[in-house]
Amino acid sequence: MSEYRVYVLRLQNQVWTKSKRFREANPDYKPRKPVVYVGSTGESIEERIAKHRAGGKTSNRFVKKYFRRKMPAEYADIPVCSDRPSAEALEAKKANELRARGWGVWGGEPTTGMGGD
């Protein structure tokens, strides 16, 4: 049986100043709040981070370039799921919660195949 986990990664603040796409995706961002990536994975979170950082089709460009650290306090209470759709639903919920707090968030959308988490 597979297990899927949601995770939150702190990104360097530079992503906000250097990426128009990130800024456009976060019109309600409040200055001085964290900028993060929210994802879900069927691997360990450490394995997933390593794949992001290595680059390639399943890597996220913002994590590859701006990864700072894991934020386990933001995902420790999220249950492990037995299927990808349930994990993606929790991923979207977490991303929306963080956006509502004024954070800059990338992720939280369902994957459609290659290049997703």
38 bridge partner residues: 8, 107
Residue 114 lies inside a defined structural domain of this protein: no
Grade residue 47 by pLDDT with cuts at 50, 70 and 90: very high
Residue 113 lies inside a defined structural domain of this protein: no
- Per the structure, how many domains does the chain have? 1
pTM, whole model, 2 decimals?
0.91
Residue 115 lies inside a defined structural domain of this protein: no
Regarding predicted confidence, which is higher, 111 or 11?
11
Q: Summarize pLDDT for 75-104 with one digit per residue, the tens.
A: 999 999 999 999 999 999 999 999 999 999
Identity of the residue numbered 5: R
84: containing domain: 5-107
Q: Summarize pLDDT for 18-28 with one digit per residue, the tens.
A: 999 999 999 99
In the predicted model, is pLDDT for residue 115 greater than 80?
A: no
Residue 62 lies inside a defined structural domain of this protein: yes
